[in-house]
Structure 1
Amino acid sequence: MLHGEYCSVCGQREGRRDLHFSEAAGDILLDMVTWDSRFWRTLFPLMFRPGFLTAEFIDGRRARYMPPFRLYIIVSFILFLVVSFLARDMMAEVTNEDGDVSVFISSDDEVDPEGLAEAQRTLDGLGIDVDLQARKEASEDPAQTEYGGAPSASQSAESSAQASAEAAVDGDADSVDDEDHVNINFGFSDEEKPSWLGDLESRMEGNVRRMKEEPSLFLGLFLEYLPQVMFLMLPLFAVLLWICYLLSPFHYLQHLVFGLHYHSFAFLLYLIDSCLASVTSALDGVAFIGLIIYLPLALMRVYGSGTIGAVVKSLFIYFAYGITLIFGFVAIVLLTLAFL
């Protein structure tokens, strides 16, 4: 039997109570400046008991587990930090794989045999198939130099092929320029367009060309905006839940708590998937399947939905939120191109 509003053993408030905006704002400010050792205790129910943390929070049993906003901040920070490092490594690998290696040997200089052998071993170690000795001998052959007399038939054929290739390149210059041409227009004519919008379009066009040359810069700025846009998606996710349960006694902030827990689960799942992807590809697609299964199970626990109702509502949320995310990613691309 309780004496008063709180339990004398654990300090928990009695019964279920509604969450008010002023209380939520205070919790958010506190969550942003303090570390919580309950993080590790919260991970298991977050991953393997869909909807449990939200139900506990709504019912007022909040002392044992990390608050939802703090959990979201920590998990999202770790995820995007790891993703930024993995993306940086991936860009480095792509650059190394796509890079061209050119070897030049001047016939005017004496080539040290030991240095040539050392360079050959280095190229062999890198897996680059270049015969430096053959190139050295070719550069010393008078018949293959510009002033060494009439060229052989093979040289004539090679020169002809080279001339044809150069002509083809010159002939295709206009088409290459067309491919590199970038035109961004927000739908205004030149007369109606404000000067600041014209400057923005020009800057974005230049950044598109720059992005082709330095994709790592675009990727870095994209990852910088991604956490911010995903955070702005949370209220929209809560609106979808509010639409699904319009006649239920749940308030918007309680839907928002559900969204915080669901996104924390999604981020943690993709964090694990990203780390394991570098080790094995056997688990590809597991994260996506986990997200599909998790949502209806969480709706059944928190809102008391039946199986069919939870599945139908989940499909609606998947579709509507998927469209919202597409617009969100488009916004990230536009922001990145505008401020690259």
Structure 2
Amino acid sequence: MALITPTTPDDPARSEPQSESVDEVSPKTSCCANCHTPLLGAFCHVCGQEDKNYIRNVFRLITELFGEMGNWDGRLWRTLIPLMVRPAFLSNQYVAGKRAPYVPPLRLYIFVSLIAFIVFSNLGSGLQFLGTNDPAVQQIFEEQWDDSLPRYSSGTGEIQIGFLDEAQNAEINAKLQFLQQHPKIFIERFFSLAPQFMLVMLPIFALLLKGLYILSGRYYVEHMVLALHTHGFILLSLLFILAINQILTWSIPQLFIWPLEWLVIVAWWWIPIMLLLTQKRFYRQSWGLTLFKFFLTSFIYSVVLACMLFVTIILSVLGT
């Protein structure tokens, strides 16, 4: 006969198992407010929404705005610093697939250009507001233009553009006379058109790089990424130079003037050096080929840029 062992209600071996629904989520587990998926981290792995509540604090709403415009978090600073001091680093990282730690190239350029052209339009026009008093630079603006470009007629103070008729030249000169009395109108008009023409210059520059490095095996988008980073670097450099020269206009001790002036000179020289090193490290060709293609790129780009600036100025005058 088998022995039957009596059990007590408190015996854990004989206690009834507690029913638990497999779909039940622990109260400690937070869910996505958008799709109600249990979260495994700071972001939802289904819809991608961040686990933050922007309703409770107005400053978080502002942070979200900057986050959409330029990823205003740690990624912004991890992007801006190498953009200014590490040639081709961001472009190489993006092409290699390492994109999460940095602000995307197009978003970065739009963010930088938005700030840059707002500042430029409020502080002046041309190279004057960048604080250069170099006589050699001023002489560039005083030289005579080619017949196909605007030039001042002797004794009249009017310009004559070769490919325009007399009526169009008369209209431009009348508007130029008006703008001489109201220069701020021209500045606002010019810088309202400049960002649009710079966006046109980006694919042109990328196409130029594609033609010069056609045997590199790189896709057009890779050249476009480099164009976005280099143009963003140039705009940030001009903003830096502008900021230093604004400081020099203040009443500061003489002890700081000389270092700041040298800082401006170094910043001007760093722009072409950075662009050269960027081209060398991105395409990884010999120094001879890199120097040749760099100067050829600079020349062609300068000609195209000059034409685009000329068109921008004409449209700025005609649009007043």
Q: TM-score, normalised by structure 1?
A: 0.58
Shift in Å at residue 212 of structure 1? 2.1
Q: How do residues 246-325 of structure 1 correspond to structure 2 at under 5 angstroms?
A: 246-278=214-246, 279=248, 280-325=260-305
Q: Is residue 70–residue 111 contact of structure 2 (8 Å, CA) maintained in 1? A: no
Q: Is residue 76–residue 264 contact of structure 1 (8 Å, CA) maintained in 2? A: yes
Shift in Å at residue 46 of structure 1? 0.7
Which stretches in structure 2 are left out of the alignment for 5+ residues? 1-40, 44-65, 130-154, 249-259
Q: Which residue of 1 aligns with 2:108?
A: 71
Q: Which protein is richer in helix relative to its size?
A: 1
Deviates more, 1:284-293 or 1:257-266: 284-293
Distance 1:287 1:187 in 2: 40
Shift in Å at residue 304 of structure 1? 1.3
Pick closer, same or farther for the CA change 1:183–1:247 going to 2, 3 Å.
closer
Distance 1:309 1:86 in 2: 40
Shift in Å at residue 220 of structure 1? 2.1
Structure 1 SS opposite 2:215: coil
**Partner deviation per Cα, 1:89-122 (whole Å, 9 max, x = no partner):** x89xxxxxxxxxxxxxxxxxxxxxxxxxxxxxxx
> Could you tell me which amino acid in structure 1 is paired with residue 216 of structure 2?
S
Distance 2:110 2:103 in 1: 11
Structure 1 SS opposite 2:100: coil
> Could you tell me which amino acid in structure 1 is paired with residue 79 of structure 2?
T
**Partner deviation per Cα, 1:181-216 (whole Å, 9 max, x = no partner):** 66667445x8xxxxxxx5x55542321110222222
Structure 1 SS opposite 2:97: coil
Shift in Å at residue 180 of structure 1? 5.4
Deviates more, 1:329-338 or 1:207-216: 207-216
Q: Which residue of 2 aligns with 1:45?
A: 82
**Partner deviation per Cα, 1:41-84 (whole Å, 9 max, x = no partner):** 10111111110100111111111100000110111111112222
Shift in Å at residue 255 of structure 1? 0.5
Q: Is residue 70–residue 108 contact of structure 2 (8 Å, CA) maintained in 1? A: no
Pick closer, same or farther for the CA change 1:41–1:186 going to 2, 3 Å.
same
Structure 1 SS opposite 2:262: coil
Deviates more, 1:322-331 or 1:201-210: 201-210
Pick closer, same or farther for the CA change 1:184–1:265 going to 2, 3 Å.
closer
Pick closer, same or farther for the CA change 1:46–1:201 going to 2, 3 Å.
same
Aligned length: 220
Which structure is richer in relative contact order (CA contacts within 8 A, separation 6 or more)? 1
Which stretches in structure 1 are left out of the alignment for 5+ residues? 1-8, 12-30, 92-177, 191-197
Question: Residue 334 in 1 paired to residue 311 in 2?
Answer: no
